[in-house]
Amino acid sequence: MSNTKLEIESLIPAFRAVLMEETLRHRNSGGAGSVVAFEKSISEHQRRYAVKLDGIRSRLSDSDDAVRDLADNAEQQIGVVAAEAIERAKAAGKVEIA
């Protein structure tokens, strides 16, 4: 497997680890402000990962469609994980470990 594929595949568990760190950081804060701060933090991390994936895509040749699809899928998965975590926090009114 190429280094680029490994790099892309490592981003999803890395994002999950960041999500857990942010959850732990914000869960003890309490209140609606905690949820807003959590959402802001997670959205910023999601943007940071999108930039990483854009950088990877920019290095790919036109014939690397499978790797480009892998990057697209990783970005989509990260988006779903982020959205679920934010929605869960909003619904609960606080940040909790899922």
pLDDT of residue 20: 96
Report domain extents, the chain: 3-92
Q: What is the DSSP string of the chain?
A: --HHHHHHHHHHHHHHHHHHHHHHHHHTT-SHHHHHHHHHHHHHHHHHHHHHHHHHHHH--TT-HHHHHHHHHHHHHHHHHHHHHHHHHHHHTS----
pLDDT per position in the chain (98 positions), as tens? 589 999 999 999 999 999 999 999 998 877 668 999 999 999 999 999 999 999 999 999 888 999 999 999 999 999 999 999 999 999 999 999 87
pLDDT of residue 91: 94
pLDDT of residue 62: 84
